[in-house]
Structure 1
């Protein structure tokens, strides 16, 4: 009897190990059986071991996979043990994002709203609920509404400029991501919630603290993220800080209090919150005519999303649903814009000739418009457009675009069928750094975005805001915020590299699978006349 016990343990352990091995490798024949080129996976880790172990970002892992699939229009890989299809060819990307959008409507599997009520926002909603909300929110982001919000953004730049004065006097070294995050927090706090946050002076404000809780990488969140790749329910059991009850309650209460105050005191402001109040009370937002070239990204959504609209389920405009839209407005406007401005300033410091040319354009345009940053002045900043476009190419805030196959689909002119619920990835960061489209991709070169150079590339080789009906609804607001911030800074200050500046700029391996964050950006600030 004494000799049987060890054998029982050995047999049981062997069975457990065999099951674990089977669980983590049972899907590894998926792409081979379908005749799809694929990258050979490692047991358990699939093709993203370097991401799971925090060696690099998920986007950088996708670059490696993208390169290994060179010569193929698409290919398979494994997210731990989950099969994922990576698209490389711009024409197939166009097919998925626009022409056959009905088969790929969703970005991800839906978020359980009982576990995270703020997850019912436009970025994460699926199916007919997404389509109905998208159509209802479209009028809130027209060029007319952007003009209405511009003075609020300009007002926030005055505080930014004022707070940097002493640092410029002393030629200080500043961590620009933190500085710009304070600015974008103030902008979003004012435009989305009607609040004067004053993050430049009160960096420990509750609003700023919540922003850090959501975006600042930490080991607990990274551990939850890594484990959930193997067993998805863990994600909802442990929940990262961004989905905590504290964050949820803060934003919902903030929205309700702001809305209640305005309705009781008959306060009306030109901001996003006011448009949501209008949507709740009237069931719609007063529309502008979508005729401007600035609104093309909205008209394509209307046309494609209108199909099958009669099948939409009812969508009740509850306080929680509306608060979720303010929440995602905060997420998108705070992080992506601060990353873009910070990375742009980094490149302007590394390339002082580009910085000087851009400053001269800003000076010239502002003189033309009476020294004021107006909507029309922003349209005249053509070289700034190219500089921002090149920043978004080199540092796209959303490094990958996700899609889920919602109806079985055959890739045109191939024998490959995509099963329902298959996850697809469009590797934006990898495409933006492909020398086939962008020679010498690590070089910062705004001339890539002259009219002729843009026409020379496939349209779907540049995707900083996505494309098709699920293109970023707030892209016009984001670009406006970036251009206003840059124009205000360059009229007053000069930015230079210092001994603490990282060249090239690296990324934090604890970044999320969607957005990814540069490491700290240290620059020297001085008055422009110095």
Structure 2
């Protein structure tokens, strides 16, 4: 019996020692893992320091990333903070990190100009995530390298001044609905951001999808509902998903992840396919963007542009597919809707604060329209010089995107330094920071259209639509719909800021572009312009 007890005691002791040994081994393993992860993280977060480039302190990086993921401030605010931090460091260029990804930030204007224009072939791509199985993501904004170059060349003729003039009547048609809504609200404040979003929705649906959705009078139609879904109500998980797709797209490529939901894809694909099929079957043509895309699909050139096809590209090679039409129509909706509405919103807000400027714009509008028998034409809009300055200053103070993303497509030696930006490194051009830098725009918080009286908006300090060969192809159309909306409103109504508007304005942290947070309410009353009609 004693032998058995001794044996059991021995086994218990052995078991205890074995467990203890296992715990010790596990603890050592955990400690080694933590140590190795720490070494790896330190290695990752010293990428720029090892290359002799200055970076903000780690506390700034952590605060910056946390604010983005938790929606504590807007994308523009975080970009501006980076710019100011770099400015305090007194550097011509610097580095930052997002998640585990190093980003290069050029600060020197000559360097930015070289990268975006002279040395563009090193920075062709935006580095945006796209998925061939996610057709709406394969549009011009996202496409890389040769795919972008070829499609850009095909689409460029659809955005010429002649084509904008052809579509001008579509824009004018949409102003009638806006005036009806405004007239009904005389005596009551209007949430101008919502009005302009519905106005631009009607224009884009008309021009890009060939349909009349009339969201001004029917704000709950499906296109307007889809627009709200795309731009509003973005959650922590959505922002995390989008941020990671931008910072480390390789993970998304590995798992073949889609960013755009199936419901959104089905809706926009179905609308475009049905409209294209109907037009082709019934031989219907319409002066809009969709018709131009259909011509490129079927002929490889536009009906009135025999010079489109060069010796380098045959008509057959110049054709586009139905999937490409769908993607570009979606881009038209995605990029054009909120940016133009936002620009118009900020412009009316600033003019509501500056009565003298508002009166000056209105006087110019009335003066020009009188020369055109009271009709707003494409040529008349082109003669409104002060209106152009006002819109230009609005885009300076509130650029649609606070920064321009790029990715290095081949190794690049930064001029005047020993630094080589390796292929695959991401680059951020700080547009918002430059636009609000007092070294380039004295008293930058002041709204001053006279800054652009000398026509200096082609300088690299002004980049609301990008710079170099990859500037926004839809710039003309975006400006056109913004100005048409402003003319329709300013010639008919006088505006003041309503007390319901929360000031100072803040940027919406849920949206990448610089949309205003919350509602922007304006008071309005009729102008005495009975002799000026569209």
**How high is the TM-score relative to the length of structure 2?**
0.88
Q: CA deviation at 1:439?
A: 1.1
Query: Which residue of 113, 131, 135 maps to 2:149?
Result: 131
Distance 1:462 1:184 in 2: 24
Residue 503 of structure 2: aligned partner: 503
Matches within 5 A, 1:384-403: 384-403=387-406
**Contact in 2 for aligned 1:340/1:397 (Cα 8 Å):** yes
**2:146 is equivalent to residue 143 of structure 1:** no
Distance change in 2, residues 1:463/1:44 (3 Å): closer
Structure 2 distance, partners of 1:164, 1:158, is 10
Deviates more, 1:10-19 or 1:195-204: 10-19
Hey, what does 1:525 align to over in structure 2? 523
Matched pairs, number: 505
Residue 191 of structure 1 contacts residue 273 of structure 1 at CA under 8 Å; is this kept in 2?
yes
Counterpart residue number, 1:69: 86
The structure 1 segments of at least 4 consecutive aligned residues displaced by more than 4 Å after TM superposition are: 226-240, 286-290, 313-316
* Aligned pairs (5 A) from 1:43-442: 45=62, 47-70=64-87, 71-114=90-133, 116-168=134-186, 170=187, 172-219=188-235, 220-225=237-242, 232=249, 243-286=260-303, 317-442=320-445
Distance 1:141-1:370 versus aligned 2 partners, 3 A rule: same
**Cα distance in 2 for residues equivalent to 1:143 and 1:216:** 33
2:51 to 27, 34, 49: 34
1:20 CA drift (Å):
4.5
Quote the residue 2:470 is aligned against. 470
Contact 1:45–1:52 (8 Å) recurs in 2: no
Please state how far the C-alpha of 1:245 moved relative to its aligned partner: 0.8
Instruction: Give the structure 2 partner of residue 483 of structure 1.
Output: 483
- Mark the CA change 1:24 to 1:288 in structure 2 (over 3 Å): closer, same or farther: farther
Offset, 1:447: 0.9
Match for residue 293 of structure 1?
Answer: none
| CA deviations over 1:340-385 (Å, ceiling 9, x no partner) | 0111111111222211111111111111111111011111110000
Cα deviation, residue 52, structure 1: 2.6
Bigger Rg, which one: 2
- Alpha carbons 1:342, 1:521 under 8 Å: kept: no
Secondary structure, counterpart of 1:164 in structure 2: helix
Q: Quote the Cα distance in structure 2 between the aligned partners of 1:121 and 1:225.
A: 17
- Give SS of 1:370's match: coil
Matched position secondary structure for 1:112: coil
Question: Displacement, 1:523?
Answer: 2.3
Which consecutive unaligned segments of at least 5 residues does structure 2 have?
Answer: 1-17, 529-534
- Check 1:247–1:18 CA distance in 2 against 1; reply closer, same or farther (3 A cut): farther
- Mean alpha-carbon deviation: is it higher for 16-25 or for 250-259? 16-25
Describe the shift of the 1:226–1:13 C-alpha distance in structure 2 as closer, same or farther (beyond 3 A): farther
* Structure 1 residues 244 and 80: alpha-carbon distance in aligned structure 2, compared to 1, 3 A threshold: same
**Could you tell me how far 1:326 is from its partner in structure 2?**
0.6
Q: Is the 8 A contact 2:192 2:520 kept in 1?
A: yes
Asked if the contact 2:76–2:507 (Cα under 8 Å) also holds between the matched residues in 1, the reply is: no
* Contact 2:232/2:510 (<8 A) preserved: no
Following superposition, the deviation at residue 316 of structure 1 comes to 6.6
Distance 1:249 1:314 in 2: 28
In structure 2, C-alpha distance between the alignment counterparts of 1:230 and 1:326, rounded to whole Å: 26
SS at match of 1:507: coil
Q: Secondary structure at the match of 1:461?
A: coil
Return closer, same or farther for 1:82/1:227 CA change in 2, 3 Å cut-off: closer
The answer on whether the counterparts of 2:296 and 2:318 sit within 8 Å (CA) in structure 1 is no
Task: Name the stretch that deviates more: 268-277 or 487-496.
Answer: 487-496
SS at structure 1 position matched to 2:460: helix
| Contact 1:24–1:43 (Cα < 8 Å) also in 2 | no
The 8 Å contact of residues 398 and 514 in structure 2, kept in 1 or not, is answered as: no
The Cα shift of 1:16 comes to 4.5
Query: Residue by residue, what CA displacement relative to the aligned partner does 1:251-281 show, whole Å, maximum 9, x if unpaired?
Result: 1111110001111111110000000000000
Separation in 2 of the partners of 1:341 and 1:26? Answer: 46
Deviation at 1:11, TM superposition (A): 3.7
Distance in 2 (CA, whole Å) between partners of 1:488 and 1:238 is 46
CA distance in 1, matches of 2:132, 2:430: 28
Structure 1: which 5+ runs fail to align?
291-298
Q: 1:155 Cα deviation (Å)?
A: 0.5
Q: Partners of 2:446 and 2:60 in 1: how far apart?
A: 37
